[in-house]
């Protein structure tokens, strides 16, 4: 029995080799080193590009916290916030995504998004909780990458990533437009404008705007923009109408546009459009095709043209065909005498003369030549009695002296003018009132009174009672007086009628300038009439006493019935005349201007 013994171990001598002394565990640190280096290299390679943005102020921007966003996606982080060398700006250094860096070329714009409450609503509300962020905007074409940018103080209007058309509106002033005011198309906001800027020459303002796609396809060269800011109140036959577009446009203004005529050309980026004051003006402007030159003609007036201003309308048969472009005073020698003439340059739109679209200045001039031969003349007329504004009328006066279109030294065609009726009217009205003034009312009354006095004396005298023939004579005298009185009244009435007609004419043709004079002479006349009329009640009273006495006298002589009948009818006539005078006097006293107004 053999003792159990462990199996003989297999003894293999250790192999000797250069690698046998090295433990394979060394692979681990090598691997770790490789991985660490790999991670380090990767994070270095993927590290973003540092760009610097200069902001006027950077309220709320915090280092390592504030993000740079592009289309609401975080693409970078603010690393440091520092000042420029002269402390005038805040330099915000942002580490941005390496992939996006090439797109940040010269068109990249940056601004800080903050909560903002405006008339259009509240924006940037999310930043109330999360803090501000920097929004970047650039186009989708990579250019020469930049690392230094100037930040904007506020969000730009036109986002280059949004499609649309940038426009420029030229206006006389920028009163009613605030930055961010909407551009409306049929009441729908389709864009916005920036704050108005003065032009380089300072003679107007330019308002940059942006119309978003796809609404910009509604734009063409025939598009008209007009201001819809504020409230418009108009008084018309339908009463007062109050008109405003929206509360936003009330507060910050607004611009509306419409393409009223088809067939315009496509607009380019940055196309300049005029901004009209209202829709009516925009519509009216459609008739002046800006591509067509207007016909410039000269009209020379001798008299005063006060009330004629630049922009006053030129009418032909009541329709506006142009406008006064310029009013100038030119001194010249006429047969050795210095004469100052007023030159008004009229811009006439040939298309409006009925010559059709595409009519040029030459066509218009030929048309005017023909018409002037037929008696077309330039005449000033009052547009409104209240404002005293003058308009230029092209009137047809076939009986006028022959004239023709002449060319001035400046190659401007000159149209013949005629005196405005404004001047004649004054003379006519004044003449009428002069005549009223000159009526012998006072003499008439004086003679009437002396007559009645003598009649009174006669009647009162005792011997008269015995003198029926004397009474007869008195009656005869009275009888002759009555038609006279009647004639006077009729004359007065005729005069008044004439005055009424003239004033009616005055109202129609309306020459304010002269109306004042007319009014003053009318007042003078009315005063004279009034003074005269004040005597009338006395006169009537006397006539009444006379009548009473006459009646007494006549009752004593009731044998002569014919005489009494005569006397009675005479007395009734006198009494009627007195009544009529009284009524007239009362009316005049109550309403002196009824002389003018005719009622």
Interacting residues toward other proteins by CB under 8 A = 7, 9-15, 21-23, 25-29, 31-33, 35-36, 39-40, 43, 65, 129-131
Q: How far is the CB of 221 from other proteins (least distance, A)?
A: 49
Closer to other proteins by Cβ: residue 129 or 148: 129
Q: How is residue 153 written in tokens?
A: 């103080």
Measured from the CB atom, the residue of 132 and 383 that comes closer to other proteins is 132
> What is the 3 state secondary structure string of 403-459?
CCCEECCCCCEEECECCCHHHHHHHHHHHHHHHHHHCCHHHHHHHHHHHHHHHHHHH
- Cα–Cα distance for residue pair 385/391, rounded to 1 Å: 12
The DSSP code sequence of 232-248 is: EEEEETTEEEEE-S-HH
The token pair at 239 is 């009463």
To 10 degrees, the CA torsion angle through 521, 522, 528, 529?
160
∠ CA 273-276-278, rounded to 5°: 145
Q: What are the residues facing 406 on neighbouring strands?
A: 414
Of the two residues 40 and 473, which places its CB atom closer to other proteins in the complex?
A: 40
- Least distance (Å) between residue 197 CB and other proteins: 38
3-class state of residue 325 by DSSP: strand
> Cα separation of 578 and 574, whole Å?
6
Q: How far is the CB of 101 from other proteins (least distance, A)?
A: 22
Q: Cα dist. 186→61, 190, 232, 260, 519 in Å?
A: 40, 10, 18, 12, 51
* Nearer to other proteins among residue 19 and residue 242 (C-beta): 19
Q: In what order do the strands lie in the sheet with 109-113?
A: 109-113, 133-137, 67-70, 73-83, 90-96, 49-55, 148-150
Q: Cβ distance 143 to 105 under 8 Å? A: yes
Nearer to other proteins, 69 or 549 (CB): 69
Least CB distance from residue 34 to other proteins, whole Å? 10
For 346-362, b/e burial (b = at least 16 CB within 10 A) is bbbbbbbbeeeeebebe
Q: Which is nearer to other proteins, 28 or 231 (CB)?
A: 28
Report whether 274 contacts 142 (CB < 8 A): no
Separation in Å, CA 471 to CA 465, 466, 547, 551, 553 = 8, 9, 12, 12, 9
The minimum distance between CB 36 and other proteins, in angstroms, equals 6
Q: Tell me 215's DSSP state.
A: G
Q: Which is nearer to other proteins, 131 or 537 (CB)?
A: 131
- Give, rounded to a whole angstrom, the gap between the first and last alpha carbons of the chain: 167
- Helix or strand run (H / E) with residue 281: helix 279-285
The CB-of-30 to other proteins minimum distance in angstroms stands at 8
Task: Please state the closest distance from residue 33 (CB atom) to other proteins, in A.
Answer: 5
User: In this complex, which beta carbon is closest to other proteins, that of residue 115 or of residue 230?
Assistant: 115
CB 261, min distance to other proteins, A = 52
Q: Which is nearer to other proteins, 11 or 262 (CB)?
A: 11
| DSSP 8-state secondary structure symbol assigned to residue 16 | P
Least distance in angstroms from the C-beta of 15 to other proteins: 7
Q: Please list, in sequence order, all residues whose beta carbon lies within 8 angstroms of the beta carbon of residue 248, skipping any fewer than 6 positions away.
A: 119, 120, 181, 182, 254
**Quick one: 6 or 356, whose CB is closer to other proteins?**
6
Q: Residue 32 or residue 284: which is nearer to other proteins going by CB?
A: 32
Q: Considering beta carbons, is residue 25 or 242 the nearer one to other proteins?
A: 25
Q: What's the min distance (Å) between Cβ of 11 and other proteins?
A: 5
Give the number of other CB atoms < 10 A from CB of residue 254. Answer: 26
Burial of 462 (0-12, 13-18, 19+ CB in 10 A): exposed
Least Å from the CB of residue 25 to other proteins:
4
Structure tokens that stand for 342 in this block: 């007023």
Q: Choose between 33 and 541: whose C-beta lies nearer to other proteins.
A: 33
Shortest Å, Cβ 57 to other proteins: 21
As measured in angstroms, the least distance from the Cβ of 12 to other proteins is 5
């Amino acid at each position: 029995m053999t003792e159990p013994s462990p199996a003989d171990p297999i003894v293999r001598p250790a192999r000797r080799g250069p690698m046998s002394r090295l433990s394979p565990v060394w692979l681990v640190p090598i691997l770790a080193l490789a991985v660490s280096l790999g991670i380090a290299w990767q994070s270095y390679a993927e590290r973003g590009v540092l760009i610097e943005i200069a902001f006027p102020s950077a309220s709320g921007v915090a280092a390592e916290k504030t993000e740079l966003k592009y289309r609401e996606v975080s693409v970078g982080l603010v690393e440091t916030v520092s000042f420029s060398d002269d402390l005038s700006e805040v330099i915000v250094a942002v580490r941005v995504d390496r992939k996006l860096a090439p797109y940040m070329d010269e068109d990249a714009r940056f601004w800080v998004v903050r909560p903002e409450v405006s008339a259009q609503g509240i924006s940037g509300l999310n930043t109330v909780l999360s803090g501000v962020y920097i929004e970047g905007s650039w186009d989708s074409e990579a250019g020469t990458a930049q690392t230094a940018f100037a930040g904007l103080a506020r969000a730009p209007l036109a986002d280059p990533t949004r499609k649309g058309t940038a426009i420029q509106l030229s206006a006389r002033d920028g009163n009613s437009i605030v930055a961010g005011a909407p551009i409306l198309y049929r009441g729908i906001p389709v864009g916005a404008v920036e704050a108005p800027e003065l032009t380089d020459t300072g003679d107007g303002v330019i308002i940059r705007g942006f119309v978003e796609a796809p609404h910009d396809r509604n734009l063409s060269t025939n598009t008209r923009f007009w201001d819809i800011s504020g409230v418009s109140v108009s008084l018309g036959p339908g009463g007062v109408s109050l008109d405003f577009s929206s509360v936003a446009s009330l507060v910050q203004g607004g611009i509306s546009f419409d393409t009223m005529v088809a067939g315009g050309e496509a607009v380019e980026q940055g196309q300049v459009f005029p901004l009209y004051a209202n829709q009516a003006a925009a519509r009216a402007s459609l008739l002046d095709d800006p591509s067509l030159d207007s016909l410039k003609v000269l009209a020379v007036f001798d008299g005063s043209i006060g009330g004629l201003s630049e922009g006053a309308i030129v009418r032909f048969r009541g329709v506006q065909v142009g406008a006064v472009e310029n009013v100038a005073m030119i001194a010249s020698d006429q047969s050795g005498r210095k004469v100052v003439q007023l030159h008004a340059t009229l811009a006439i739109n040939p298309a409006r003369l009925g010559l059709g679209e595409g009519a040029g200045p030459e066509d218009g001039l030929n048309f005017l030549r023909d018409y002037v031969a037929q008696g077309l003349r330039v005449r000033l007329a009052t547009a409104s009695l209240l404002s005293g504004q003058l308009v230029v009328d092209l009137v047809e006066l076939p009986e006028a002296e022959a004239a023709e279109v002449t060319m001035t030294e400046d190659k401007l065609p000159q149209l013949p003018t005629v005196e405005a009726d404004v001047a004649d009217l004054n003379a006519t009205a004044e003449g009428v009132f002069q005549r009223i003034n000159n009526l012998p009312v006072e003499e008439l009354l004086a003679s009437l009174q002396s007559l009645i006095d003598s009649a009174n004396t006669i009647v009162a005298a005792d011997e008269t009672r015995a003198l029926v023939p004397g009474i007869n004579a008195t009656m005869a005298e009275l009888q002759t007086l009555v038609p006279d009185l009647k004639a006077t009244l009729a004359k007065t009435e005729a005069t008044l009628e004439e005055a009424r007609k003239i004033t009616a004419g005055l109202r129609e043709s309306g020459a304010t300038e002269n109306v004042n004079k007319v009014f003053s002479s009318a007042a003078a006349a009315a005063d004279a009439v009034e003074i005269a009329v004040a005597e009338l009640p006395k006169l009537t009273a006397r006539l009444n006493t006379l009548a009473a006495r006459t009646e007494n006298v006549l009752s004593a002589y009731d044998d002569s019935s014919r005489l009494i009948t005569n006397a009675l009818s005479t007395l009734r006539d006198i009494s009627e005349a007195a009544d009529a005078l009284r009524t007239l006097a009362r009316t005049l006293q109550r309403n002196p201007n009824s002389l003018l107004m005719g009622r």
